[in-house]
Amino acid sequence: MKAFLLLREIYLEAFKSFGNYLVRNYFKAFAWFSFTLLVVVLYAFVFRVYTGFAFD
């Protein structure tokens, strides 16, 4: 839980200094989109490993 709170604080501090509303929201959306893509890639990799896919 402490690690989650630390990551949350880092995330909030990263976007606090942005002045332009459009730029700030664009980077927030891009960060969440990138995080979502990373989760999908990790899920696909774990699924392939779990089902015995041969990485040749």
Residue 33 has pLDDT above 80, yes or no: yes
Domain of residue 38, residue span: 18-56
Both structure tokens of 45: 């990799």
Q: Is residue 49 part of a domain?
A: yes
pLDDT above 70: residue 13: yes
State the Rg of the chain over Cα.
17
In a domain, 8, yes or no: no
Full-model pTM? 0.59
Q: Is residue 56 part of a domain?
A: yes
Average pLDDT over residues 32-51: 96
Within-domain flag for 6: no
Of 36 and 17, the one with more pLDDT = 36
Counted domains in the chain: 1
Q: Is residue 1 one of the residues assigned to a domain?
A: no
- Cα dist. 20→26, 27, 29, 39 in Å? 10, 11, 14, 29
The answer, yes or no, to whether residue 17 has pLDDT greater than 70, is no
pLDDT-based confidence at residue 18 (cuts at 50, 70, 90): low
